[in-house]
Chains A and B, each alone.
Chain A
Amino acid sequence: MDKRAIASTVADICVNCFPVAELIQFAAQFAVSLIAIFAVAWLVGKLQLGAAPTIEGADHASEIAKGISHGFAARDVVVSGCGQAALLRDAEGRMMVIRRHGSKFVGRELSDGSGVRLDRVCLEITPDTAFGTVRLEIGKQAQHWAASFRHLPDAEAPHA
């Protein structure tokens, strides 16, 4: 088989397995769709939709926690100075951390203190990697709340 025949065969295989025209069309459609997606998201941001909320006090934090985990009735609440996060404890000693997520709030019940770090007047809580670290600037209460983690079922003392 001469070189021209080989090249022709290879070209035929490439065209059949990788139809160029269709791939270009698909790539163009994908690019246009991607641009449209970013344009819509940009418009939503430009119109300032979904403003970031703040936690407006202990009652507000308790309501948020109830919505996150039905049956969680907070007895003690501390809200971070900036209003972006809060730490709550119910009558049975269960603890939950809540934080702002976009224009909503998310939370996690905490089973132990392994993801908790005390930094004088701040608590840094990392329930899991995906949830991220929540920094609570709560002044002198930080030490008191850090001690609460010792009473959780799978307790490990928070590290400084």
Chain B
Amino acid sequence: MPDFNPVDYAVPGFVLLILIEVIWSWRKRPEAYEARDTLTSLAFGLGSTVAGIAFGGIVLAISLWLYDYRLLTIGWAWWAWVVCFVLDDFGYYWFHRTAHRVRWFWAAHVNHHSSQHYNLSTALRQTWTGFFAMSFIFSLPLILLGFHPVMIAICSGFNLIYQFWIHTEAIGRMPRWFEAVMNTPSHHRVHHATNPRYLDRNYAGVFITWDKMFGTFEPERDDETIQYGIVRQLGTFNILYSVFHEWIGIARDLRDAPWRHKPSYLWRVPGWTHDGSRKTSDMIRENWRASQLEGEPPQNNDLKRIAEHHGSI
């Protein structure tokens, strides 16, 4: 059984590319970096590595146990690696889409989006609570299908490595053929944007084709300035609050919500409330579309109508 984590070998490359991007920022775009944001992002990365070491053994144990119940035995042939990589990326798309659309998983994933900057240090801004959120369950179908857990882990590692370089504003567009199939800095800038047009779009890991297939693709527009971050920006560089803020929000909502609505604060889309007091991404986008059609900012009663439509199902 191979003992190999590609991400470990990529770390020096990550550091080198960040330093190159910092130099690019100094020469071309000084606002692309900010010291405290960079420190917070990199601290996130270090903490996520520690969390991975702490809980990785448990995930591996569960995976190996589940592998005993596999449907097929696919083995280690070269083509198995190719198929595994593609299917793992397909699984990643669905994990990532769920992580934006189900608040429980969003509470772990939000960390990655919480920077208002978009640079290579943002790529390392990874969650500490992924194990607690049980995000690993999205890998289980591949294991049951018959791919060895270590093969899946290695493919996932290469998937993550690929996603590192797309977290930059230093690259505009790749060639059209590349943009058509692969995830790119342009596609992923859209994903990290809080612009209403761009919310909950472009979930791809490696292949953007999944977004095109399942209706979640949005191209980047040159005439629209991207605002990065989350809808309700953190406003703090405090690492602990940044890590746990959404979990804290869930706890408060569970405490305060009527009993019949409590489960919804775990599984519904982020921003959902039983009384419509906050906005979901869908509401923000609808509101924006309405204002585009009418050519003026919407009034509050439009927001209430949208809230009633989305909030009380």
Q: Which of these, A72, A73, A101, contacts B235 with CB under 8 Å?
A: A101
**Residue contact B50 to A132, C-beta cutoff 8 Å:** no
Cβ of A122 within 8 Å of any chain B Cβ, yes or no, is no
B65 located at the interface, meaning its Cβ lies under 8 Å from any Cβ of chain A in the complex = no
Q: Please pick, from A41, A47, A94, A130, the residue contacting B245 in the complex, using a CB distance under 8 A.
A: A130
Give B residues with C-beta under 8 Å from A.
Answer: 15, 18-19, 22, 25-26, 30-39, 42-43, 46, 49-50, 53, 116-117, 121, 196, 227, 229, 233-238, 241, 245, 284, 287-288, 291, 297-300, 303
Known: A33-B46, A40-B38; 16 extra A-B contacts, CB below 8 A, are A33-B49, A37-B43, A40-B121, A44-B22, A44-B33, A44-B38, A49-B22, A50-B35, A70-B291, A71-B291, A71-B298, A102-B37, A102-B237, A103-B31, A104-B229, A131-B236
Q: Number of residues in A with C-beta < 8 Å to the partner?
A: 37
Instruction: Name B's interface SS.
Output: helix
A34 contacts chain B at the CB level, 8 A cutoff: yes
Inter-subunit contact A49/B26 (CB<8 Å): yes
B39 touches A41 (CB 8 A): yes
Footprint of B on A, CB under 8 Å?
A: 26, 30, 33-34, 36-38, 40-45, 47-51, 67-68, 70-73, 92, 94, 99, 101-104, 106-108, 130-132
Instruction: Among B49, B116, B288, B297, point to the contact of A104 (Cβ < 8 A).
Output: B116
Report how many A-B pairs have Cβ atoms within 8 Å.
110
Least distance between A127 CB and chain B CB atoms (Å): 9
Contact in complex: A40, B298 (CB < 8 Å): no
**Interface of A (DSSP majority class):** mixed
Contact of A102 among B25, B36, B288 (CB under 8 A): B36
Q: Which of A43, A47, A130 contacts B234 (CB under 8 A)?
A: A130
Please determine whether B236 and A48 come into contact, CB atoms closer than 8 angstroms.
no
Some 24 contacts from A to B, beta carbons below 8 A apart, are: A30-B46, A33-B46, A40-B18, A40-B22, A42-B35, A44-B33, A44-B34, A47-B22, A47-B30, A49-B32, A49-B33, A50-B33, A70-B196, A71-B288, A71-B298, A94-B300, A102-B36, A102-B116, A104-B117, A104-B229, A106-B235, A130-B238, A130-B241, A130-B245
